[in-house]
Chains A and B, each alone.
Chain A
Amino acid sequence: MDNETKAPGHFGRLYQGLTTIDFVGRKKTWFTISIIIIVLGMGSLAIRGFNLGIDFKGGSSWEVLAPNTSITTMTHAVEQAGLVQPTVEKLGSGTYEVTADLNALSAGKQLSVTTKVVDAMAKVAHKNGDQVSTSSVGPTWGGQITNRAIEALIVFFIAVVSYISVRFEPKMAGAAFAAMVHDLLVTVGVFSLMGFQITPDTVIAILTILGYSLYDTVVVFDRVRDNTGGVLKAGDMTYSDMVNLSMNQTLARSINTSLVAILPVLSVLIVGAYILGATTLQNYGLALCVGLFSGAYSSIFIASPLLAIMKEREPRFRDLAARVGQRADRAALSPAAAARMSGEGAQRTVGSTRSATATMVKPRARKQKRR
């Protein structure tokens, strides 16, 4: 290409892993941004709470595909059928959703009102009653789902923290855990701030996000660990510098991965939920979208600086920092050299990793021989 120059532009530097963003040094900026978002979210949570779906409050909802009607007509029809203060929403292309709480009524009355509403909506939509979807939820269902989710969350936290502690090291597990809590708080806060409805699907999506955030952090830390073996040995970089280098090296990957993860989710949200009108998809999509952004952000801007802060407290890295600090020529290592060193480091680490996690690697090795 003609206009390619010797000094690549922003994109070129990113593409080649030559960026020199000071992720660790500007940690205060990143932490402040996160804290503001979290405080806003928690404040909103304290004042406004959540917009809970019927699965948590209990209640009933009806859905029908009715391309040729309006919210007013629908509202009028269901009020005639006996609903008090129903919520009527139009979802995507002509699907109408009516929500109301019938749990105060006796079981028999609930059934008769439900049937009347079904008939009324079917009439408005010019369909028969079986074309109307219904959903009714007792007041305790949501609590059960939440309990299960919290149970899953705790078990998941314990499992991943111990996994990372063994596979990597306890401090990385700590930083990754902090990043997960960050994502949890941000997602929950954003949901309260924006007034998005909380459904069981949201809860599940949040669990998935935490898994994904962790996945992202693991990839980044894997690079940090590689560099710990290689770059640090040279003795002209502090631990923080090394984390910075690792971040810059994996930045292209982080951005690509996040894009690749967010593209399908955006597609779910826009194509699936808004254009075609599938509510389940919308609930998943919203939570996943918020969470993926937060997850991508936290692995770079929260987990890594935190790791650097924790590691810098270790005597050997404090000494290293002091030694490096005394040198006048604290020029950053050229990425090419760093890559070469980290490559060598990687190989050394491979050897030790194999023996440390023999149980995990072995089954695959056996499979490989059979082939």
Chain B
Amino acid sequence: MIVSLVLVLVISFGSLITTLSLGWGPKLGLDLAGGLSVVYKPATHATNADMQEVVAVLTNRVNGLGVSGAQVNLQGKNVVVSVPGVTNARQILGQIGQTAQLLFRPVLCQVTEDAKVYSIGKQKLPSSCASQYAMTAANLNVVQAPQTTAGWTSTNLPSDPAFAKVASTAPANDDKNAVVILPQLGQPGVRYLLGPAQMTGQSVSKAVAQQDQVGAWVVNYNLTSSGSPLWDAVAKKNFHQLVAIELDGVVQSAPMIQPTDASPTSFGGSGQISGSFTEASAKNLALAMEFGALPVRLEPLTTETISPTLGHSALVAGLAAGLVGLALVLLYTILYYRALGLVIVLGLSATAALLWAIISALGHTAFAPSFDLAGVTGLIVSIGITVDSYIVYFERLKDEARAGRSIRSSVDRGFRSAWRTVLAADTVSLLAAVLLYLIAVGDVRGFAFFLGLSTIMDVAITWYFTRPLVILLGRRGSQSDSMLSMAAGLTSGGSPNG
């Protein structure tokens, strides 16, 4: 008995002190630490293998942003991306938010956007423009620039007015084999009529944003071994024409295909995109090109950014609420049960110490969900369930005492019947937690996890701590009449107030 008691105390407070001295703390969730979270779902049917690939690509992309502690998980067919503890959440969101397939489409012509547009749904767009607007090499009138300025120049073609009133293609209808109208990133009002995709981002192996000799931002890219001949074929087909790089239904860039003088027929597996890039837009394009190749298109279901200040105030609120709640409960039980109330205080302290140690230790593994506001609430709710085990036991004790048994035998018999009740009730609570954890999405899992954890803790503490402690108290209680004895808690009868 005493061994069990001492062991529980040593284990719980020992582990608490160990984790505290190691400086370990719980892995705080987004809503407490601040950060960003996005849940994506595949827009079309996707196999599990597809989704695994999506996770791999997104993980690469998030890591490519240079943030630490980011997580990309699959929950069912949904992909959950969470990046805790960042201050520039919105900027990061813009970068990983671009999650569609990267497609290379020929630009057929430019189209303006009228004030009034109508959607044409899934209806097919005509696959060519009026000839005077078509972006053919001849129409573009590409000429080699004078020696003073490098590269080639071309005439700006006017927009084809026939498409002005047609709405841009909705993301849901953005089929890679169809003709579509898509807007240009960062240039309001500029749209293109684009042909079916001729290459996907899977052909791109690497893309980096760099500054050229004169300090302008460019994107240098390399192609995979299978992608290189593909790109050469695309270049040949669209020689001196525009090829749009499309991501997420938006044209990222529409550079003109210009083989260098040295290699007029082959890009040789690498190339450069130049133009009016800023540092940010060049880096965005590079990221999109390198990591944009997803097997399916993703739609954001929900996007959330939480500022670290708000997160911090939520943490304070949660902790304060928990502590006040705990204090109220302890006060009530001491008033009601006197000496037995102290058993609850001791038991809860041991439980709390052990829980905090376990949560902190779990924070150092990838296994547990992070500790978020829902988790805090789960713990607060579990206060009730934990204390109830004591109440069930103590009420049984009172029954036994009323039946005229000695405290010593009441303690044993009361525990036996209370133990069954506690087991049955905790099984139900655990059942709820496990089912919620398995089935639910999002924050709920944290809630279920911490509720389940504390339920298991409750069963363990009841058996290894409460039982021996009350039995010991019972032995002492039968010999003493002090206010601290069990008898004070069991038979004083009247209300604590008199």
Contact surface of A with B, Cβ cutoff 8 Å: 1, 3-4, 8-9, 11-12, 15-17, 55, 63-65, 92, 95, 106-108, 111, 115, 118, 127, 129-138, 140-141, 144-145, 148-149, 151-152, 155-156, 159-160, 163, 167-168, 200-201, 204, 207-208, 210-212, 214-215, 218-219, 222-223, 226, 249-250, 252-253, 256-257, 259-268, 271-273, 275-278, 280-281, 284-285, 288, 335-336, 339-340, 342-343, 346-347, 350, 353, 360-361, 364, 368, 371
Contacts and interface: CB of A to CB of B under 8 A. Distances in A.
Contacts of B403: 336, 339-340, 343
B391 A281 contact: no
A138 B391 contact: no
Q: Which 4 A-B pairs have the closest CB atoms?
A: A264-B325, A261-B384, A211-B432, A276-B317
Contacts of A201: 374, 443
B388 A280 contact: no
A60 B306 CA distance: 13
Nearest to B304: A135
Contact of B495 (A11, A64, A151): A11
Contact of A281 (B171, B307, B318, B387): B318
A144 B441 contact: yes
Interface string B349-361: 0000000000000
B266 to A, nearest CB: 36
Nearest to B373: A280
Given A261-B388, A268-B380, A108 B417 contact: no
B314 interface: yes
Contacts, number: 313
B428 A215 contact: yes
A272 B493 CA distance: 36
A130 B302 contact: no
B81 to A, nearest CB: 14
B444 interface: yes
Contact of A214 (B249, B333, B399, B428): B428
Contacts of B171: 107
Main secondary structure, interface of A, reads: helix
Contact of B302 (A141, A168, A336): A141
Nearest to A156: B435
B interface, how many residues as a size bin? 35 or more
A88 B395 CA distance: 49
B96 to A, nearest CB: 14
Contact of B317 (A3, A140, A278, A347): A278
A207 B391 CA distance: 24
A207 B428 CA distance: 12
22 contacts: A1-B492, A17-B395, A65-B310, A107-B249, A134-B303, A144-B301, A144-B441, A152-B440, A160-B432, A200-B444, A208-B447, A257-B384, A261-B385, A261-B388, A262-B384, A264-B383, A264-B384, A268-B322, A276-B314, A277-B313, A281-B317, A339-B400
B377 A281 contact: yes
A131 B307 contact: yes
B6 interface: no
B442 interface: yes
A219 B421 contact: yes
A281 B402 contact: no
A285 B318 CA distance: 11
A130 B417 contact: no
Nearest to B4: A371
A63 B310 contact: yes
Interface stretch (B87-95, B142-150, B216-224, B255-263): B87-95
